[in-house]
Each structure stands twice: as C-alpha cells, then as structure tokens.
Amino acid sequence: MTTIETIQQGEAHPTLSHHEQIEIGRELQATLAELINLALLGKHLHWSVVGAGFRSIHLELDEFVASWSTLADLVAERSVAVGYSPDGQAKTVAESSELTDVTTGPLPDREVIQILTHRLIEAVANCRVRIASVGAHDLASQDVLIKVALALEEQLWMVRAQRDR
Ligand SMILES: [Fe+2]
C-alpha cells in the first residue's frame, strides 16, 4: 500500500463512489505534490540564477512560484471537496517525487532555462495523463486539472521562448 493509499478518507460524495473518490484523489494528490515541488524548485532557481538574464528570470520565477502555489491550493481544495484528504507535507511530497536534484550554487541563466523547460515538459505530460484518467470519473475535477495544464503549458511556452536560437 502506498503512502497515498493510506491517507485518511473524508466524507462521502453525493454521487461519486468510494472507489471513484480514491481514484480521483490519487490523481489530485500526485498533481498537488508536483506543484509543491515546482514551487520549491522555482524559489531555488530564483536564488541561484546568474548571468545577463538574471533580472528577468529572477522576477519571472516569483510569478511562476505564485502561480504554482495558487494551483496547488486549488487542487488540494478540490481533493477535499471530493472527500479525499490531501497531504502537502514535505515528507510526503519528497517521497512522491521522482525529480532529480538541482545542484546548489550559482546557475547560469541558460542552464536555468533548460532545467525549467525540462521540468515543465514533465509536469505537462503528467498532468495530461491525469486529465484523461480523472475525466473518466469526474468532469469537475478534470476541469481543475485542465486549469493546471493551461497554466503549465503557457509557462512552458514563455520559458522556451527565452532559449538561445
Ligand atoms: Fe525573492
């Protein structure tokens, strides 16, 4: 049994079955963990970036972190609404993360753009898989994940546009 499966369940839902609550909850929990991870990474990069692009990337990262934190709240509260208790604690988030560490110390702006591009591609791909699986049970929860995908894909566009040509 995974950590996610052992999370305490909340109230019954008016129409969703217990099985559906767990299926949806798991997908929302995975998205929550990914967004918290992104927000932590974003601050790390915000502090580490160096180079000619410092100011724009430094400021942009705070906008992204704010977006990821807002989305994490939206996803977590949707989870509660479907009767599944979200877990945003550091230990749970770290255990559910398959992301590799980023080095500490100064990071050239070009490298920061590469890291962000890679992480956003991963997050978008994961989110789109979850959109499909949640949609089989609950269109309202799917809508929340679509909001996440819209934001992540816009951010991916903006980051990719900054790559050297
Ligand atoms: Fe700051």
100-135 tens-digit pLDDT: 778 899 999 999 999 999 999 999 999 999 999 999
Return the pLDDT at 99. 67
pLDDT surpassing 70 at residue 6 = no
C-alpha of residue 130 to centroid of ligand 1, in Å = 32
Mind listing the domains of the chain with CATH numbers? 17-160 (1.20.1260.10)
From the list 14, 42, 6, the residue with the least C-alpha distance to 119 is 42
Looking from the CA of 129 toward its CB, the CA atoms found within 13 Å total 9
Calculate what percentage of the chain has a pLDDT beyond 90.
84
C-alpha of residue 44 to centroid of ligand 1, in Å = 10
C-beta separation of 57 from 163 below 8 A = no
Q: What SS3 state is found at 156?
A: helix
The two three-digit tokens of residue 159, written as one number: 């980051």
pLDDT surpassing 50 at residue 2 = no
C-alpha of residue 58 to centroid of ligand 1, in Å = 8
Strand partners, 96: none
Return the pLDDT at 8. 54
State how far the Cα of 110 lies from the Cα of 90, in Å rounded to an integer. Answer: 29
Higher per-residue pLDDT: 100 or 155? 155
State how far the Cα of 150 lies from the Cα of 52, in Å rounded to an integer. Answer: 29
C-alpha of residue 62 to centroid of ligand 1, in Å = 7
C-alpha of residue 54 to centroid of ligand 1, in Å = 12
pLDDT in tens, 50-95: 999 999 999 999 999 999 999 999 999 999 999 999 999 999 999 9
From the list 162, 165, 161, 152, the residue with the least C-alpha distance to 42 is 152
C-alpha of residue 59 to centroid of ligand 1, in Å = 8
C-beta separation of 79 from 32 below 8 A = yes
Mean pLDDT of the chain: 92
pTM: 0.92
Q: What SS3 state is found at 108?
A: strand
